[in-house]
C-alpha cells in the first residue's frame, strides 16, 4: 500500500461502546467538577461513575454475546479502528473483570462513614500537611478522584485490547498517569502517600521509557507497529534478530514493571502501603488484570512464533518473582505490605501460567489452555485482593487505619465476622482447597506442567508452601493471640464497603466450590485473534 494515501479508519461503535462510555463519563466528570456546586459534587460524581461503569458492563456482556468467529474458529471477535483495537474473547473477558473491580473501587472510594462523614481522600491535596489551609479543608472531599479513576479504567480496558504497539503505549500511560495522582491523595499520613506517589511516578515513567524504546526497536525490526505484521516479520525472520531480541526484552521490562515482577517489584510494597487503601484495592486488581492481558497479547500474538527467545527469560523472572515474593512477605510487619508481597508472589504464579501451552490446537480434549487458566486466576485474585484491602480499611484506631501487625492481635475475638472473612481470603490467596485460589493455582500449574515447565512448577509449589506460613501466621495472630490494650478495633462501615467485601468473599467461595461456570466462560472466550 502506498504509505501516502490516507485510509479513513472505520469505528465499530457498538463494539467500542464500553470503552467510549467510560471515557465519556470520565470527561463528563471533569465538567462536573467545574460546574456543579461543591455540596452536590460528591453525589453527582459517585452516581455518574457507577452509572457509567454499569452501562459499560452491560455493553461488555452484549459485545461478548455478539462476537463472531474468525479464521479457523478458535478465536471470535473483530478488528476495529484500523486494526488498532482487537476486540476478541479474552479482551472482552478482561473488560468485564476490570469493570467489576472498578465498581468495587468506586464503592470503596465513596465510603464516608469510616472517616466520620468525609472520604479517605485529602480535602485539598495542594494544602500543606499540618497547616491552617489543611485544617480548613478538613471537611472537604476531593471528588476529582472519580474522573481520574474512570480514565484509569479506560486505559485498563484499552491496554489488553491494543492491536499495535503505539496504542499499547498510549493505553499504558492513560492507565498509569491517573493512578500516580490517586496514590498521592490520602487524607491521613500524607507524607507517606506523597512519597508513594513520587516513587510510583518516577519508577513508572522510567519503565515506560524502556517500554517505548522497545517499541522503537521492534518497529525497526518489523517496519510496522501492528502485532500481526510483527508476527509475520518474526516468522519470515528477514530483519535484524538482535534488534528484535533487545526490543522484546525492553518491552518486557515495561510490562513486567506494571505487574510487579522481580526484579522490577521494588515499587509495589511502598506504593501499596502509602496509597489510600481504596486506591490500592482498585490498583492491585485492575493494573494486574490489564497488564497481564497486554503481556499475553504481546507475547502470544506478536512474538508467539519466537517463543524460544522469550520463554527462558520468563522462566527466570517467574521463578525469582515467586521466591522473592513469598520469602520477603515473611519478614513483613505491616498488613498492606504483606498483601503487596503476596501480590508479587501471585504475579509469579500468573507468569507460570504464561509459560503454558498456547493454543487449544496443541491440547487434548478437556485440558485448560494457558489463557483460560490465567483469566480464571485473575478473577479469583481480583476478588480476594479487593475484598482483603477493603477489610484493611475497617481496622482502625484514632489515627486512621491500623496496619501494623501487633494492632491486629486478637481481632478475631472482638470481631469474629470481619476477622473470619479476612482469614478466609488469606486462605484463598494461599491456595487452600475449596477456595477460589486453589482452583486458580491448580489451573496455572497444570498448563505450565503440560508445557514442560516442570522446574518452574516445582518452585511454584515450594513457594506456595512458604506462602502458607505467613498467611497462617497472620490468622493465628488474629484468632489465637490475646488482644492487647492498643489493639485496633473494627469500625462499622456503610453499605458500600460491606457490599464490596461481601461480594468479594462470596465470589471467592463460589469460585472454589463451583469453578465450572467461570472456567467455561474463560474457555468460551477462546483465543486471541492473530
Contact set with another protein (CB under 8 A)? 3-4, 125-126, 128-129, 166, 169-170, 173, 177, 180-181, 184, 190-192, 194-199, 201-202, 205-206, 209-210, 212-213, 215-217, 219-220, 223-225, 269-270, 273-274, 331-332
Q: Which helix or strand (DSSP H or E) is residue 70 part of?
A: strand 69-70
What is the number of other CB atoms lying within 10 angstroms of the CB of residue 275? 28
Judged by CB, which is closer to another protein: 274, or 493? 274
- 177/460 with CB nearer another protein: 177
Q: Which is nearer to another protein, 4 or 68 (CB)?
A: 4
The nearest distance, CB 217 to another protein, in angstroms, is 7
Antiparallel, parallel or unpaired: β 85-88 and 395-397? unpaired
Task: Report CA 401 to chain centroid distance, whole Å.
Answer: 23
Least distance to another protein, CB of residue 152, Å: 12
Q: Which is nearer to another protein, 197 or 296 (CB)?
A: 197
CB of 502 vs another protein, minimal distance in Å: 31
Of the two residues 127 and 421, which places its CB atom closer to another protein in the complex? 127
Which helix (H) or strand (E) segment holds residue 87: the answer is strand 85-88
CA distances (Å), 507 to each of 157, 170, 353, in order?
22, 33, 22
CB of 49 to another protein, least distance (A): 20
Rounded CA-CA distance 116/275 in Å is 20
Q: Cα(207)–Cα(257) distance, rounded to whole angstroms?
A: 7
Report whether 368 contacts 466 (CB < 8 A): no
Rounded least distance, CB 355 to another protein, Å: 29
The single residue listed with the C-alpha cell 512477605 is 329
Three-state SS at 203: helix
CB of 280 to another protein, least distance (A): 13
Pick the closer one to another protein by CB: 57 or 338.
338
Cell readout for 277 is 487503601
CB of 120 to another protein, least distance (A): 18
**Are the C-beta atoms of 497 and 114 separated by less than 8 Å?**
yes
Which residues is 78 bridged to in the sheet?
A: 87
CA–centroid distance for 392 within its chain: 18
Residue among 373, 384, 400, 360 at smallest CA distance from 488 = 400
Nearer to another protein, 274 or 440 (CB): 274
Q: What is the 3-state secondary structure (H, E, C) of 366-382?
A: CCCCHHHHHHHHHHHHH
Q: What is the full DSSP assignment across 122-133?
A: -S-TTSPTTSHH
Minimum distance, C-beta of residue 344 to another protein, in the bound complex (Å): 15
Cis peptide before 263 (omega within 30 of 0): yes
Q: How far is the CB of 484 from another protein (least distance, A)?
A: 23
Nearer to another protein, 170 or 521 (CB): 170
CB of 202 to another protein, least distance (A): 6
Q: Which is nearer to another protein, 210 or 349 (CB)?
A: 210
Q: Which is nearer to another protein, 52 or 254 (CB)?
A: 254
3-state class (DSSP) for residue 347: helix
Q: What's the 3-state SS for 283-310?
A: HHHHHHHHHHHHHHHHHHHHCHHHHHHH
CA 311, CA 456: separation in Å to the nearest integer?
12
CA distances from 522 to 8, 159, 343, 368, 371 (A): 34, 19, 22, 9, 8
Q: Which residue has the cell 522462566?
A: 315
CB-based contacts of 96: which residues, under 8 Å, 6+ apart? 57, 60, 61, 64
Closer to another protein at the Cβ: 165 or 391? 165
Residue 341 CB, shortest distance to another protein, in Å, is 11
In terms of CB distance, is 87 or 148 closer to another protein? Answer: 148
Residue 232 class from Cβ within 10 Å (0-12 exposed, 13-18 middle, 19+ buried)? Answer: middle
Torsion angle in degrees (nearest 10) through CA of 58, 61, 67, 73: 170
CB of 241 to another protein, least distance (A): 16
Smallest gap from residue 121 Cβ to another protein (A): 14
Rounded Cα–Cα distance for residues 70 and 397 (Å) = 57
Of 202 and 514, CB closest to another protein: 202
Longest dimension (CA), the chain: 76
Amino acid at each position: 500500500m502506498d504509505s501516502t494515501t490516507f485510509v479513513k479508519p472505520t469505528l465499530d461503535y457498538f463494539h467500542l461502546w464500553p470503552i467510549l462510555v467510560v471515557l465519556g463519563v470520565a470527561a463528563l466528570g471533569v465538567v462536573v467538577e467545574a460546574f456543579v456546586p461543591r455540596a452536590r459534587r460528591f453525589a453527582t460524581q459517585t452516581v455518574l461513575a457507577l452509572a457509567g461503569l454499569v452501562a459499560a458492563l452491560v455493553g461488555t456482556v452484549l459485545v461478548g454475546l455478539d462476537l463472531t468467529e474468525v479464521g479457523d474458529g478458535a478465536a471470535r471477535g473483530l478488528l476495529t479502528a484500523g486494526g488498532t483495537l482487537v476486540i476478541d474473547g479474552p479482551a472482552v473477558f478482561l473488560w468485564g473483570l476490570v469493570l467489576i473491580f472498578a465498581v468495587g473501587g468506586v464503592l470503596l472510594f465513596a465510603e464516608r462513614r469510616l472517616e466520620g462523614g468525609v472520604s479517605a481522600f485529602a480535602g485539598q491535596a495542594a494544602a500543606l500537611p499540618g497547616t491552617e489551609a489543611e485544617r480548613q479543608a478538613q471537611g472537604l472531599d476531593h471528588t476529582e478522584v472519580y474522573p481520574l479513576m474512570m480514565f484509569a479504567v479506560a486505559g485498563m480496558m484499552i491496554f489488553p485490547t491494543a492491536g499495535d504497539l503505539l496504542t499499547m503505549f498510549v493505553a499504558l500511560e492513560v492507565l498509569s498517569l491517573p493512578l500516580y495522582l490517586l496514590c498521592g491523595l490520602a487524607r491521613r499520613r500524607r507524607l507517606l502517600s506523597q512519597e508513594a506517589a513520587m516513587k510510583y511516578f518516577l519508577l513508572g515513567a522510567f519503565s515506560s521509557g524502556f517500554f517505548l524504546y522497545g517499541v522503537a526497536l521492534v518497529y525497526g525490526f518489523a517496519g510496522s507497529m501492528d502485532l500481526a505484521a510483527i508476527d509475520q516479520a518474526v516468522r519470515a525472520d528477514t530483519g535484524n534478530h538482535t534488534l528484535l531480541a533487545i526490543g522484546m526484552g525492553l518491552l518486557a521490562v515495561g510490562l513486567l514493571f506494571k505487574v510487579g515482577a522481580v526484579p522490577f517489584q521494588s515499587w509495589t510494597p511502598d506504593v501499596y502501603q502509602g496509597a489510600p487503601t481504596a486506591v490500592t484495592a482498585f490498583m492491585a486488581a485492575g493494573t494486574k488484570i490489564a497488564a497481564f492481558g497486554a503481556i499475553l497479547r504481546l507475547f502470544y500474538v506478536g512474538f508467539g512464533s519466537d517463543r524460544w527467545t522469550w520463554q527462558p527469560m520468563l522462566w527466570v523472572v517467574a521463578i525469582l518473582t515467586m521466591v522473592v515474593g513469598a520469602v520477603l512477605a515473611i519478614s513483613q510487619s505491616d498488613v498492606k505490605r504483606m498483601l503487596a508481597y503476596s501480590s508479587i508472589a501471585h504475579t509469579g504464579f500468573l507468569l507460570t501460567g504464561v509459560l503454558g501451552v498456547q493454543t487449544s490446537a496443541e491440547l487434548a480434549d478437556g485440558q485448560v489452555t494457558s489463557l483460560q487458566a490465567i483469566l480464571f486466576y485473575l478473577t479469583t485474585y481480583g476478588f480476594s485482593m479487593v475484598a482483603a484491602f477493603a477489610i484493611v480499611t475497617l481496622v482502625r484506631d484514632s489515627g486512621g487505619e491500623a496496619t501494623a501487625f501487633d494492632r491486629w492481635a486478637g481481632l478475631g475475638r472482638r470481631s469474629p465476622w470481619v476477622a473470619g472473612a479476612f482469614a478466609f481470603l488469606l486462605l484463598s490467596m494461599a491456595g487452600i482447597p475449596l477456595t477460589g485460589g486453589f482452583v486458580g493455582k491448580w489451573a496455572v500449574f497444570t498448563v505450565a506442567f503440560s508445557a514442560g515447565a516442570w522446574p518452574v512448577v516445582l518452585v511454584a509449589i515450594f513457594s506456595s508452601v512458604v506462602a502458607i506460613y505467613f498467611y497462617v501466621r497472620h490468622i493465628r495472630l488474629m484468632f489465637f493471640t490475646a488482644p492487647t490494650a492498643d489493639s485496633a478495633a473494627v469500625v462499622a462501615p456503610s453499605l458500600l464497603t460491606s457490599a464490596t467485601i461481601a461480594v468479594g468473599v462470596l465470589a471467592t467461595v463460589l469460585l472454589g466450590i463451583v469453578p465450572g461456570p467461570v472456567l467455561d466462560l474463560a474457555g468460551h472466550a477462546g483465543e486471541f485473534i492473530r
